[in-house]
Structure 1
Amino acid sequence: MENYRNYNYDILRCIALLSIILAHVSPPNFIFQLRNFDVVLIVFISGVVYNESNHGYLKQTFSRILRLVIPVWVFFSLYYLTCYFMLDKIFTLKQYILTYTMISGIGFVWIFRVFISIAILLPIFINMERRGNFYIIFILILITNVISGYFHIFDKIIVEAVNYTFVSYLGYKVKKSGFKTSIRNFSILIFIVFLYLIIKKDIDLQILKYPPDFIYIIYGLCVTYILFCLRFKKNTFFVFVGSNTLWIYLWHIPFVIFLNGYNINFILKYVVVLLFSVSIFYFQYKIFSKSNFKYKRYFLG
């Protein structure tokens, strides 16, 4: 049963990644709005698969951050060098700094900032609950969201970090509790309401995404809970993509940037981006999985 559940989580991560990439190829607005559960889903699953360590908070957190930061820095170093030497394309110092700090840069990097925040905050959330201080989590969420309108930095960093960490924390709790049926039925009803609002154009989930508003999070959680209650058959492609989301996401970036400069049908663009990003990583995976390179773990996953 545990092996099956692990495959299920990989498939859910794959669905999230495919939806995120879909958003980057400019689909029609209805599809663009509908897939706005993707980030919430992948963050939620990060909580479900979260494993606590006996190595202590600092060592555990530092290890998780390195696992995110090193691949991003390596990839963008190669990307910028390729652009400079092969395409004669020069970026500004500000773009370099914003990319490596995962603030913005050329875009696409903010999701890694989210997971770094989760690596720092999720163990703290779990520890507060164990100490009987669960109410502090809600007070923290309330305070950061209330004052976000007064201080711009809260919009960019703090609200994003706290709200997404709470989503990850919910994933951690759902794995522990297992109250699937009631959540699924409730989520289906709420999803129908959101679907109606999207069709009627009374709500724009994309606007509510930066920073993640409660309505955006609730929509994402509804779809996430529905998917979480489903049973998927094992599929090699979905499991491979779902267990290697980090590098496949990185490899999709240059192809999206290139193809978005042309007036191409979004379906064709989507297929091309997926084909190249998954294929390139597949060869990368084959090379590093069989190598004795000491740091190969940073080039897998």
Structure 2
Amino acid sequence: MSNILEKKNNNQRDIRFDILKTIGLFCIIFAHIGPENNVFFHLRRFDVPLMVIVSGTLYVYSSGNKQISFWSYVQKRLPRLIAPVWVFFIFYFIATYIIFYFLSKPYPFSLEKILETFLLLKGIGYVWIIRVFILVALFANFALYVYRLCKSEVKFLIFLSLTYLGYEFLLILTQRFSFLTRTIFLNVIINDYLFYILPYGCLFGLGMVIPKLKNKSILLISGLFLSLFLLQAVYFYHKLGHFISNENFKYPAKFYYVSYGVFMSMLAYFIVDKLSVRYNLLERDNLLIRLIVFISSSSLWIYLWHILFVYYWQNLVAEYLHALTSNFTVSFLVVAFGAIAITYLQKQAVLQIITKTKVGQKNSDLLSILFLK
């Protein structure tokens, strides 16, 4: 059995997007443990938009010129997203019950919170991002169909812009006519699903056109959204008398949050593209590159394990080693590389089971979906 990080043929991979996914993942982990008074805590608020944009690019790469039916894609993609997440949640809640029982501590999660977590609503927190990617997966096939129908990146970008404007109009409409979301069912459908699939679907669509855009166009889009972001920042400062964080415009995503996300994501792509050319990263194969590829291709499980590390680090370890847990650098290293390490061990163990046991060989597809994606 070969090691996951052993030399692989990466000629078919675009390392630029592995780097961007790794940056996005680290920024998200930082958000969950970083001090809010840290400058980088504010700068990193392009993390989720970046991950969604990169997903759009990777989807176009994987689809090529193939005709992909909606149902075949959904049947293949959704289990790979939902099944590992639910497996992790089952482990997480049972493990927490056992640990808190032996520590003689009350169980911290109510039945309602557990149910919300499995439905990817509020729950234990951190799970809304997974809901975003599931919704984007539902949107992907339609976006690809429209993209091919437009036959032009400019026309498709216009379509995305109009779609996003329609979304902002719907936001205003529901705020003015609150009866539209008065019932719990409509509130969930509109605020937790529709108002997430539209803005992030547009970001996903933006990612689809990136491979066809020239550097001048990338910089133009980045500069345009920077200007729009700064105009909003000045407007809110003039209106309220102080700077207002775009974090307040995140749930659901509004243009103040989205514009910054697009600006930074396109800038990050431009910088990574330049560095990849300068240092010939597309042809390099070393331990660092393989580690980045591993993190990128294992981002779901790394994200899931980081939830466990964050919770126990902040709620149990902090009781006994407060000086250690209050140190951001230590906290980041423990959470980020702890999640990476346990994901690596998990994949190695499952690969061993698949290759060396009859049960593993018989259920290789299921084990791959649950633990290797």
Length-normalised TM-score, structure 2: 0.72
Change (3 A) 1:288 1:205: same
Q: How does 1:258-297 map to 2 (within 5 A)?
A: 258-261=312-315, 262=318, 263=322, 264-290=326-352, 291=354, 292=361, 293-297=364-368
Question: Does 2:47 match 1:38?
Answer: yes
Q: 1:171 aligns with which of 207, 211, 216?
A: 207
State the one-letter code of the partner of 1:222.
Answer: F
Shift of 1:259: 2.0
Query: In the comparison of the two structures, how many residue pairs are matched?
Result: 298
1:250 partnered with 2:285: no
How many angstroms does 1:285 deviate by?
1.5
Change (3 A) 1:192 1:243: farther
1:160 matched to which residue of 2? 196
Whole-Å separation in 2 of the counterparts to 1:15 and 1:80 = 29
> Which one-letter code corresponds to 1:212 in the other structure?
A
SS of the equivalent of 2:122 reads coil
Report what 1:214 is aligned to: 255
Displacement of 1:184: 2.0
Distance in 2 (CA, whole Å) between partners of 1:86 and 1:227 is: 41
Query: 1:54 and 1:129 mapped to 2: Cα distance?
Result: 13
CA positional deviation for 1:141:
2.9
What's the CA shift string for 1:21-45, capped at 9, x where partnerless?
0000032333221100000000000
Q: Distance in 2 between matches of 1:190 and 1:59?
A: 36
Q: Contact (CA 8 Å) 1:117, 1:161: kept in 2 or not?
A: yes
3-state SS of paired residue (1:260): helix
Mapped partners of 2:255, 2:227: distance in 1? 17
Partner-residue secondary structure (3-state), 1:212: coil
Q: Following superposition of structure 1 onto structure 2, how do residues 92-171 of structure 1 map, counting pairs within 5 Å?
A: 92-131=110-149, 138-139=162-163, 140-149=166-175, 150=178, 151=181, 152-153=187-188, 154-171=190-207
CA contact (8 A) 2:226 2:263 kept: yes
Mapped partners of 2:202, 2:368: distance in 1: 28
Give SS of 1:294's match.
helix
The one-letter amino acid of 2:302's match is I
Out of 197, 200, 224, the position equivalent to 2:265 is 224
Q: Return the letter of the residue paired with 2:366.
A: Y
1:71 matches 2:99: no
1:11 aligns with 2:19: yes
The CA deviation string for residues 66-97 of structure 1, in whole angstroms up to 9 with x for no partner, is 11000000001011111122322253221121
2:14 aligns to what SS in structure 1?
helix
Q: Which moved more, 1:227-236 or 1:9-18?
A: 227-236
For residue 190 of structure 1, report the CA deviation from its aligned partner.
5.4
Shift of 1:239: 2.0
Say if 1:241 and 1:248, in contact at 8 Å, map to a contact too.
Answer: yes
Equivalent residue, structure 2, for 1:23:
31
SS at match of 1:49: helix
- In 2 relative to 1, CA 121–202 (structure 1 residues): closer, same or farther, beyond 3 Å? same
- Is the contact made by 1:148 and 1:155 (CA closer than 8 Å) also made in structure 2? no
Change (3 A) 1:65 1:249: same
Map residues 78-97 of structure 1 onto 2, 5 A cutoff.
78-88=91-101, 89=107, 91-97=109-115
TM-aligned CA distance change 1:236 to 1:129, over 3 Å: closer
Query: Where does the alignment leave 5 or more consecutive residues of structure 1 unmatched?
Result: none
Structure 2, gaps ≥5 residues long: 1-9, 102-106, 182-186, 355-360
Q: Is 1:60 matched with 2:68?
A: no
- 1:222-255, Cα deviation, whole Å (9 max, x unpaired): 1111121223435232221112100000000011
* Alpha-carbon distance in 2 for matches of 1:184, 1:107: 35
Q: Does residue 184 of the first structure (1) align with residue 219 of the second (2)?
A: yes
